[in-house]
Amino acid sequence: MQEPTSASTLIHQKPVTADLHGFDDLRHVIEHAAHFLPAQGPITVFVHHNTLHAFEHLPFDEGVKVGGKLFGCNAYLPEERYREKLERGRIRVEDLVAVLLHDLGEEANLEIGAFGTRFALRLAMLQFPLRTGSGTELRWMIAETDALRRFRDEVPVETRDKMVDRTRHWALQELQQGKAKNGTEKESGLFADILNSFESHTMESWSEQTWEAFVLNSLWQVCYDGVKSIKNSVVETPSTDVVMKRHRDLLLEVTQEDTDVLVHEILIRVCSSFLDQGFADWKVPNASGGLYGLFLNLYGKSFASPTRWLRQIHTEVQRLAESNIGPLESIEESLRLLGIKNSGREEFLTHSLLALRGWAGMVWQMETNAEWAPHPAPAGSLVEFLAVRLILDRLAIAHVSRESLEFTGSLDQIRDEASGRVHKEHSNGVEQRAFIVFQLAQVCGWNPQDLESLSHDEWATLSKEIATFSAMERRRIYHLAFERKYRNETLDGVILHSKRHQNSASTIRPEYQVVCCIDEREESFRRHLEECDPTSETFGFAGFYGVIMYYRGAADAHFTPLCPVNLTPKHYVVEEPLYSLAQAERRRAETRRRIGQATHQAHRGTRTFAGGLLAGLFGSFAAFPLVARILFPRTTAQIRRQFEGIVHTPGTELRLERTESEPGRGNGHIGYSVDEMAGIVEGSLRAMGLSKSESFSRLLVICGHGSSSLNNPHEAAHDCGACGGGRGGPNARAFAQMANDPRVRNILKDRDLIIPDATYIIGGYHNTCDDSMTWYDLDRIPVQHRELFETARANIDEARKRSSHERCRRFQSASLSQSTDEALRHVEGRAEDLSQTRPEYGHATNALCFVGRREWSRGLFLDRRAFLTSYNPTLDNENSSTLEGLLQAVIPVCAGINLEYYFSYVDPIGYGCGTKLPHNITSLLGVMDGAASDLRPGLPWQMVEIHEPVRLLFVIESTPEAMRRIIADNAAIAQLVNGDWVQLAVFDAQTSRVQRYVSGEFEEYDLSPGELPIRESSIDWYRSCRDHLGFASIASNSNELAGQA
């Protein structure tokens, strides 16, 4: 290979004036490729996305296949996992039958030669595990295991006996006749060989085992010969779309040397320094020069290249710097040098970006979507990233091919050179295919003598038939069957439960009402509250409660957006100490600041020379917190909180009303106008179905939620999705304050929404990790409401205790026999425990989303698997605009959560971020595996391990017409619903009728036969059970309600 310097002379001859049009093209190609990069931004603000968002325009089954191929990830679970589910009853044979029949449609009854219908064949392939392996492995299995002596265990006894009998009958007759005639017919030639290996003269006295072995031997021989006789081209689907390999893949195959190791080592360091949000003590020199400039600057340093590889980079970087080659120009040049033709450009660039997709994605996110970060990346950073990557790529390729391949030609020939040296050892797959037929023959009872008489064409048909039902297809069917079981159970549960409770629906006014987020983690909380106190009523509404704001707490440094990610707030809200405490608070803030600065100094100081020396000498004292925090996390946390209380702001209020006309962050601009407040309150109350004055109780609790845990880089992933990965307490507080404002109520009165004067609204915050409840502005509760509040608080406390108990059943380290008090202590300990990798399970197991009145789902045990959105169709207009507004947010948000869990579960390494244990926080942006690796977006295994990957099932209380209209008018909903990224059904509460949305049509759902169990309380149903639980009616509340009525 010529030295890079000689390549440079070649470039100098090229006119330096760049072809601008070409660059536009290139930029466009790169931007297109960027869509495939992970869309996760900095981990501190964790927003759940559909991992395959880039493929959402395709139908689900197509999208997971195409996406899986591009990323090298699983589309569904591995086949054996589905088989486990089949064995454990999470998939039933009847589900397989139903799904397969639906999938095949008219082709189900297609006869495949003499082998029965296509349906029967496929069902057999699904029902029985077909083992396979490499040719060598199969040969070993044939030779060394009893594969040819014993039928497989799954084969029914009758089938086996029948096969053995028939063969015996036939063998005794035919072969002996043949022997008598002394004929050497062709067809018996094969059996003759086998017979010879068994002692054929004693045939009459063979034992049962010998006959079994004889049948299997003949069967294998027949299958093998039959399969061998057909050409490969018949069964192998011609793979026209050969994945274009990067040079690296070919070199890796030929030399076992991975150029990416060389490239990534440098690239990871450069990227993490460039993107660092303030962790490292030294800032990158010349960071303003962009990623490309940074790279040229750092690697162009003289006296800094002690090895050959680094010297090559140095030479090349100097050349680039001297001839003033920009990033786009450099990409052009790299592509040309690597010999990438125009047609293959996009694919090559995509694969080059995806080779280090975590970092590339983060560069793109920091460039396009992180203006709020301390150090966002300048525009064009991804292009610069790619330029650096390709420069390093080609240098590494040249380096490796010179060192290990001893190839010194020009770079663009390397691919041909390497492909020429690739070991072409493609097995023809005869063993594999024969072994499949062999196994199928056993379970289906195909006799060897019948198979033997098959024609060439019939063998071809069979092989082709088997080949078309590939592993991917089988997994697809399994998956559908898996979803079907849970979907049917759900719909049955909903129908039966709603029928049961149709008549007992109460008309009495509830004592108090609680509004929670739609989050499925609040399901158990609401259910237990309704159980504790049947006179309460609960609602579900997206946890930002319509308050779209930038919020800064009294002890916070910055404003945080608290609203769904697709919205940008215009309003600012701050929390301030109570006016009377302002003076004292200033002193406290100063103390906090001093302590903070000292802590920060100490934190960084321990990593320096002198500071570390000092800290090291007195470090023995660290042993006390070390031991205490690990052995007694809960107690230590309590003590720590005592100390923190000294500098904690005791009383605060929200500054919610602005005095100036324009919203903003300046003095007087903070907050909302009264009109805006009225708008927010009206929108949210109407949407959740609270618009009639008689439906209000005397106390309305608005409850935001969030989660806090220690030692958990993914902490933000447990926060409220509707608040854009923030904590929704302030939203609830703001909403309550707005709705209590008499001026707001007056405005609403004019709009025909009357909040009774007797109704008081209070905000709260539910921490889903330690199940604690924080109340806001208690001092303001009117005296006549206090007793009611005390009752409500007592019941809510009991409910959260019980809810934590229900959560604990999923934690293997929590005893199943503990009391509710112990359960609460257990979850409190979890939140404070440094060694706890599962502070909570977050959204794991989410599978359902109900949109409708609580009446029909109240008392139905949903196992914390359902998002619950309150919506009252009787109050909606004929256009269902309220529903439309709700679904515009609910469907994409819930689908995003559900699909992220789906993908992180089906491929925890590729789509998820693997196990948490070696995670290493880098650049304050994300986590790497261990010392240095690609950034790992997605969810860690510890968060998803109990998940069941099913697509979210929406059950919406509405009519098919209304839904059709909404789907037609909303492209985002249509894409998800029509592409089958979510499942959809509409429900009529009056008639308990369910209609499913199947390929664009609403189909009547028929109730499956069966009963819905009834239990006294939730705990009776879930007690001493760790696994997923089915549905049940919890009877206590309805009976009591009925009794009271």
Partner 1 sequence: MTSELLFNILGITIVASPAALLAVFSLASLAGRPLGERSMARFTETAVVLGLLSSLVILGMMLVLDRRHVPIEIGNWVVIPDQHFHFHLKLVFDRLSVPFVVLTFILCGTVGAFTSRYLHREPGYGRFFVLYALFLLGMVISSLAGTIETLFLGWELVGLSSALLVAFFHERQNPVRNGQRVWSVYRIADAAFLIAALALHHLTGAGDFEGLMGTGPWPDGHATISQSHALFVGLLLLVAAAGKSALVPFSGWLPRAMEGPTPSSAVFYGALSVHLGAFLLLRVSPILEQSLTLRIAVITLGLVSAIFGTLTARVQTDIKSALAFASLTQVGIIVAEIGFGLRYIALIHIVGHACLRTLQLLRAPSLLHDYHTLENAIGSHLPQGTSTWDRLVPVRTRAWLYRFSMERGYLDVILDEYIVRPFVAVFRWSDSMERRWTAWLSGSDEKGSDEVPPNTSSVEDLV
Nearer residue to partner 1 within complex by CB, 286 or 881? 286
Q: Which two tokens stand for residue 32?
A: 């297109």
Q: Does 817 bind partner 1 (CB under 8 A)?
A: no
How far is Cα 899 from Cα 945, in angstroms, rounded to an integer?
A: 15
Q: Does 627 bind partner 1 (CB under 8 A)?
A: yes
Q: Which two tokens stand for residue 705?
A: 């939620």
Closest approach of partner 1 to the CB of residue 617, in Å: 5
- Out of 837, 970, 975, 1039, the residue judged to bind partner 1 by CB under 8 A: 837
- Out of 812, 819, 991, 1008, the residue judged to bind partner 1 by CB under 8 A: 812
The phi, psi pair for 988, rounded to 5°, reads -110, 115
Closest approach of partner 1 to the CB of residue 364, in Å: 19
Nearer residue to partner 1 within complex by CB, 329 or 575? 575
Q: Report whether 708 contacts 832 (CB < 8 A).
A: no
How far is Cα 532 from Cα 524, in angstroms, rounded to an integer?
A: 12
Restricted to residues 983-1002, the positions that interact with partner 1 (CB under 8 A) are none
| Helix and strand counts by DSSP (H, E) for the chain | 41, 19
Residue with tokens 């990224």: 981
Transcribe 66-127 into DSSP letters.
HHHHHHT--SS--HHHHHHHHHHTSS-HHHHHHHHHHHHGGGGG-B-TTS-BHHHHHHHHHH
Closest approach of partner 1 to the CB of residue 474, in Å: 8
Residue with tokens 């045990």: 861
Q: Report whether 699 contacts 513 (CB < 8 A).
A: yes
- Out of 273, 352, 535, 636, the residue judged to bind partner 1 by CB under 8 A: 273
Can you name the residues that pair with 761 across neighbouring β-strands? 700
Q: Which one of 89-97, 242-250, 267-275, 855-863 is the stretch in contact with partner 1 (CB under 8 A)?
A: 267-275
Q: Which one of 129-137, 316-324, 386-394, 786-794 is the stretch in contact with partner 1 (CB under 8 A)?
A: 129-137
Q: What Rg do the C-alpha atoms of the chain give, in angstroms?
A: 34
Q: Going edge to edge, which strands form the sheet with 549-552?
A: 560-562, 549-552, 571-577, 652-655
Closest approach of partner 1 to the CB of residue 355, in Å: 14
Nearer residue to partner 1 within complex by CB, 256 or 990? 256
Relative orientation angle of helices 1036-1044 and 522-532, to the nearest 10 degrees: 40
Q: What is the 3-state secondary structure (H, E, C) of 132-153?
A: CCCHHHHHHHHHHCHHHCCCCC
By rule CB under 8 A, what string of x and - marks binding of each residue 496-535 to partner 1? ----------------------------------------
Closest approach of partner 1 to the CB of residue 716, in Å: 8
Closest approach of partner 1 to the CB of residue 730, in Å: 14
- Out of 101, 110, 582, 622, the residue judged to bind partner 1 by CB under 8 A: 622
Restricted to residues 858-877, the positions that interact with partner 1 (CB under 8 A) are none
Q: Does 423 bind partner 1 (CB under 8 A)?
A: yes
- Out of 104, 203, 284, 1014, the residue judged to bind partner 1 by CB under 8 A: 284
Restricted to residues 924-963, the positions that interact with partner 1 (CB under 8 A) are 924, 928-933, 942, 945
How far is Cα 399 from Cα 657, in angstroms, rounded to an integer?
A: 66
Nearer residue to partner 1 within complex by CB, 123 or 213? 123
Nearer residue to partner 1 within complex by CB, 436 or 702? 436
How far is Cα 432 from Cα 438, in angstroms, rounded to an integer?
A: 10
By rule CB under 8 A, what string of x and - marks binding of each residue 883-922 to partner 1? --------------------------------xxxxxxxx
Restricted to residues 432-461, the positions that interact with partner 1 (CB under 8 A) are 432, 436
| Long-range contacts from 614-618, C-beta under 8 angstroms, 24+ separation | none
- Out of 12, 341, 509, 593, the residue judged to bind partner 1 by CB under 8 A: 593
Transcribe 443-478 into DSSP letters.
HHT--HHHHHT--HHHHHHHHHHHHHS-HHHHHHHH
| Long-range contacts from 317-322, C-beta under 8 angstroms, 24+ separation | 317/391, 319/4, 319/5, 319/8, 320/296, 320/391, 321/296
> Which is nearest to 191 in space by CA: 202, 182, 200, 201?
200
- Out of 835, 990, 999, 1024, the residue judged to bind partner 1 by CB under 8 A: 835
Q: Does 615 bind partner 1 (CB under 8 A)?
A: yes
Closest approach of partner 1 to the CB of residue 43, in Å: 7
Closest approach of partner 1 to the CB of residue 128, in Å: 13
Closest approach of partner 1 to the CB of residue 828, in Å: 15
Nearer residue to partner 1 within complex by CB, 202 or 813? 813
Q: Which one of 422-430, 752-760, 870-878, 886-894 is the stretch in contact with partner 1 (CB under 8 A)?
A: 422-430
Q: Does 142 bind partner 1 (CB under 8 A)?
A: no
Q: Which two tokens stand for residue 985?
A: 């059904």
By rule CB under 8 A, what string of x and - marks binding of each residue 368-387 to partner 1? ------x-------------
- Out of 149, 283, 456, 751, the residue judged to bind partner 1 by CB under 8 A: 283
Restricted to residues 290-349, the positions that interact with partner 1 (CB under 8 A) are 297-299, 301, 303-304, 306-310
Torsion angle of the four alpha carbons 268, 269, 270, 276, in this order, in degrees rounded to the nearest 10:
100
Q: Does 651 bind partner 1 (CB under 8 A)?
A: no
- Out of 44, 229, 695, 1039, the residue judged to bind partner 1 by CB under 8 A: 44
Nearer residue to partner 1 within complex by CB, 157 or 623? 623
Which residues contact residue 127 at a Cβ distance below 8 angstroms, ignoring those fewer than 6 apart? Answer: 86, 93, 96, 154, 443
Q: Does 282 bind partner 1 (CB under 8 A)?
A: yes
Restricted to residues 61-80, the positions that interact with partner 1 (CB under 8 A) are 78-79
How far is Cα 1034 from Cα 1031, in angstroms, rounded to an integer?
A: 9
